[in-house]
Amino acid sequence: MSDDSKEGEGLAPPQSQLKHADQNPWYVLMTLYGDDHDKNRRVWNAWAGQVWSQEQKDELPEAPSLVLNEMQDWETLKDEVEDLFNKRWSSQKTEQPRLPDPRAEVDLSNLHFDQRLDLIGMVFPKQVSFAGSNIRFGIWANNTWFHRLVSFSHTRIGETVIFDSAKFEDRAIFEATTFSGDAQFDKVTFCNKAYFVKAQFEAWSSFVWTEFRKEAKFSGCEFVGFSSFRAAKFFSNAGFQSVQFKGIADFAESEFHASGTKGIAGIRFTDAIFSKPTSFRGATFKHSYPELTNTDLNLVTDFSADALHWPEGLTVPSKEARESCGIIRNLLSKKGLTEDQHFFFRREMFFASHQEEWLSRIPYQVYGWLSDYGHSIARPFWGLFVVWFIGVAFFSAHFTADLSGPLQDANDWTALGLSFSNLFPVFGFGRVHFMEVLKNLPAGLQFLSGFQTVASLPLLFFLGLGLRQRFRLR
């Protein structure tokens, strides 16, 4: 089975072709004591623990102490288990199999379960497959530990599914799985790839505080009811392409750590549809921006406009990052959130200053340097101050040296006023008070005066932009 194209195990067989779970030796073994799950779990864990030596058990990563204790009990339970197993099979008119080999794959595929599947606290050291099965009354799998690949590909699960605090050490495959009832995956740890491609969540679904340590694929999924990924952590690529969120979607306080490449974004919501209000409030994108190409975002969608939640500097792919910033900015503008809108506008301009041809980058870069893309008041103010001070310094030096010429009466106050008037020609101070002074300046200082006037115009414009943005002037 390859990592991508062969993750699933084919289409499920028709319901009429499914075998009853009671005809499967692994299911018989895990339900020897009927509804007494504590005894069932102890027997299963003791049987499964045979595949490891004591040294291997001691080295198992993060193994629950209860699981380790139960895996020691096989020799004390062996005779009783074999006797019960044989009795269960003797009541059926089928060929009696031997007790399953714990070193073999657990094959629970293409079965019909007419009772709730209770896997709470069980350990599966080897690969296990429920592919193509119909689990009519749901699954309880709290604190279950899957040490190797597990597949629920093309499985239909009725009623409630609970995998709270379960741990998947290897790949977890839920391709085209149908969850007819609520699906709860809270505080689950996916240590390897989590594959939910084309899964159907027909009711409420929850992945709160869940960790995806490797790639998480949800492309093509359909979430009919409320779906929550609140505070979930995606440490690698997260794929939500072409997902349909028909209910409220909650990604608040989630973390995305993926870094993209030049060609592909690490966090993808391309072609996804969010039909109801959606929250990314407090969601943190550590190293790259989500790709939102052709994404249909509901108008009531929240993003945090805070630098703590977004990557700094240039990220890849930069083209998609710029486009995503533009999409979020446009959404926030429709909601009238001016300050939040400008946060993403600044980042959109930053990417533009690095993507255009070198000559076309200059206006963007100057815009950023001098005004932080229209957001800063301090930068253009201090720019004006520097231009004014340079004029004061040169004019004052000339007036001090020229004690016998036509400007012998000029002093430091004249230099201050002249430099100021050059910055604000629209007020006419120069024509009224400093016309004679300007005429008698040497060519170099006349050029400096003109430079001050030209340099002040964009700085005044940027200052106005900053004030407009600060005080919401429209």
- The mean pLDDT value for 202-214 works out to 97
The pLDDT of residue 124 is 93
- Token output for 282: 């407090």
Tell me the C-alpha distance between 407 and 435, whole Å.
Answer: 12
Tell me which residue of 290, 470, 465 sits closest to 368, measured CA to CA: 465
- The mean pLDDT value for 427-432 works out to 66
Of all residues in the chain, the percent with pLDDT exceeding 90 is: 53
Asked if the model's pLDDT at residue 61 lies above 70, the reply is no
Q: Which residue has the higher pLDDT, 21 or 73?
A: 21
pLDDT in tens, 252-275: 999 999 998 877 889 999 999 999
Q: Which residue has the higher pLDDT, 53 or 76?
A: 76
- The mean pLDDT value for 20-32 works out to 92
Widest Cα–Cα separation across the chain? 126
The pLDDT of residue 56 is 67
Q: Which residue has the higher pLDDT, 407 or 397?
A: 397
pLDDT in tens, 438-458: 788 888 988 998 898 899 888
The pLDDT of residue 376 is 84
- The mean pLDDT value for 368-395 works out to 88
Using 50, 70 and 90 to split pLDDT, how confident is the model at 351? confident
Using 50, 70 and 90 to split pLDDT, how confident is the model at 434? confident
- The mean pLDDT value for 231-240 works out to 97
Using 50, 70 and 90 to split pLDDT, how confident is the model at 5? very low
* Whole-structure pTM value: 0.83
- The mean pLDDT value for 341-354 works out to 88
Point out the least confidently predicted range of 177-181, 299-303, 310-314, 353-357: 353-357
Alpha carbon separation from 434 to 53, 395, 409, 431, 437 (Å, rounded) = 96, 12, 13, 6, 5
Close Cβ partners of 325 (under 8 Å, ≥ 6 residues apart):
289, 344, 345, 347, 348, 351
The pLDDT of residue 36 is 92
pLDDT in tens, 272-315: 999 999 999 999 999 999 999 999 999 999 999 999 999 988 78
Mean pLDDT of the chain: 87
Cis peptide upstream of residue 125 (ω within 30 degrees of 0): no
Asked if the model's pLDDT at residue 2 lies above 50, the reply is no
Please provide residue 457's backbone torsions phi and psi, each rounded to the nearest 5 degrees: -60, -55
Q: Which residue has the higher pLDDT, 163 or 368?
A: 163
